[in-house]
């Protein structure tokens, strides 16, 4: 009996892996743990440099050692420790910007869709104007004027993060405001605020969660690009983008300096995008894969 069940076990495992986001969930859980307990689990101080370890290779390459498992950068700082601490910065930026973007975008989207008229026109034109502004150019100019800092990155990303939420929420609100239960609430004398919070918001929250999950990867990538260009998180803080930038002049002889943080960026975006796709398929029955 057991022998007959053995061939079915790999099939069951494969089906479970396809049905649930096991690998993305594991990566995201690992990232959260690394971000929360970076100081406890990092093997070394991410800011300590040892000149004798400059450009030390990863442990699996010739000349590598367990002292620097993923190698060391161009001034002898441990890459693994810097990647772990960089996780905290990336997740903090993404969470703060997403929270602000969702609150502003969902609120304005519901107002635009429910009120219509001049409110809809003003809010949607603001959305169009925000999409039309070249973000990188604005970031470069702002960094020159105010100086690169974490606060500047948060403000810039928050200003440009709300339009997707507003546009998506506005479209759903246009459909929901004509629903029978919304008309019943109007007839019963419910205020627009109560209708928006109690009747429309629950109808859009699923899509907002999916959109937020898909936005995480984009925000982390944008923050990394800004740090790579020198207008994001200033050194010596271990931001992934600035770590990639540190290794671009040494890519021929020490490729791991740029490759390791670049791999962290790739895995993070991969995990959140796959999780977002899975949530979208499960929250919308029309997209659910049978």
For residue 91, what is the domain's CATH number? 1.10.3720.10
Q: Is residue 53 part of a domain?
A: no
Domain hosting 280: range is 86-290
Inter-residue contact 238 to 82 (CB < 8 Å):
yes
Least confident of 10-14, 45-49, 87-91, 207-211: 10-14
Is pTM beyond 0.85? Reply is no
- The end-to-end CA distance of the chain, in Å, is 30
Query: Closest by alpha carbon to 36, among 95, 79, 77, 78?
Result: 95
Q: Is residue 55 part of a domain?
A: no
Q: Is residue 111 part of a domain?
A: yes
Q: Is residue 24 part of a domain?
A: no
Query: Closest by alpha carbon to 267, among 58, 61, 29, 4?
Result: 29
Q: Is residue 19 part of a domain?
A: no
Q: Is residue 290 part of a domain?
A: yes
Q: Is residue 44 part of a domain?
A: no
Q: Is residue 198 part of a domain?
A: yes
How many domains in the chain?
Answer: 1
Please state, in angstroms and rounded to a whole number, the distance separating the CA atoms of residues 197 and 181. 13
Q: Given phi > 0 = left and psi -120 to 50 = alpha, else beta, which region is 234?
A: beta
Inter-residue contact 77 to 46 (CB < 8 Å):
yes
pLDDT tens digit sequence for 110-166 = 999 888 889 989 999 999 999 898 888 888 888 888 888 888 888 888 888 999 999
The tokens for 63 are 């000349």
For residues 63-94, one letter each, b for 16 or more C-beta atoms within 10 angstroms of the residue's C-beta and e for the rest, the string is: ebeeebbbbbbeebbbbbbbbbbbbbbbbebb
Whether residue 2 has pLDDT greater than 80: no
Q: Return the pLDDT at 1.
A: 45
Please state, in angstroms and rounded to a whole number, the distance separating the CA atoms of residues 136 and 231. 9
């Amino acid at each position: 009996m057991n022998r007959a069940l053995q061939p079915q076990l790999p099939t069951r495992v494969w089906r479970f892996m396809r049905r649930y986001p096991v690998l993305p969930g594991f990566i995201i859980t690992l990232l959260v743990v690394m971000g929360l307990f970076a100081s406890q689990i990092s093997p070394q101080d991410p800011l300590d440099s040892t000149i004798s370890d400059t450009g030390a290779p990863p442990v699996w390459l010739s000349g590598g050692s367990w002292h620097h498992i993923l190698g060391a950068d161009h001034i002898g700082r441990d890459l693994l420790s810097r990647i772990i601490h960089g996780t905290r910065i990336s997740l903090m930026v993404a969470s703060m910007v997403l929270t602000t973007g969702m609150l502003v975008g969902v609120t304005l989207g519901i107002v635009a869709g429910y009120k219509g008229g001049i409110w809809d026109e003003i809010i949607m034109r603001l959305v169009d104007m925000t999409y039309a502004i070249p973000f990188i150019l604005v970031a470069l100019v702002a960094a020159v004027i105010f100086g690169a800092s974490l606060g500047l990155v948060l403000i810039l990303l928050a200003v440009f993060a709300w339009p997707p939420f507003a546009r998506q929420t506005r479209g759903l609100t246009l459909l929901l405001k004509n629903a029978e239960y919304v008309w019943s609430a109007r007839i019963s004398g419910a205020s627009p605020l109560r209708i928006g919070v109690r009747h429309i918001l629950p109808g859009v929250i699923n899509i907002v969660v999916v959109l937020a999950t898909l936005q995480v990867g984009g925000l982390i990538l944008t923050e990394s690009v800004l740090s790579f260009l020198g207008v994001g998180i200033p050194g010596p803080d271990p931001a992934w983008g600035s770590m990639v930038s540190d290794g671009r002049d040494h890519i021929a002889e020490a490729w791991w300096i740029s490759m390791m943080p670049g791999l962290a960026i790739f895995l993070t975006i991969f995990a959140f995008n796959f999780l977002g796709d899975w949530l979208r398929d499960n929250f919308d029955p029309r997209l659910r894969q049978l």
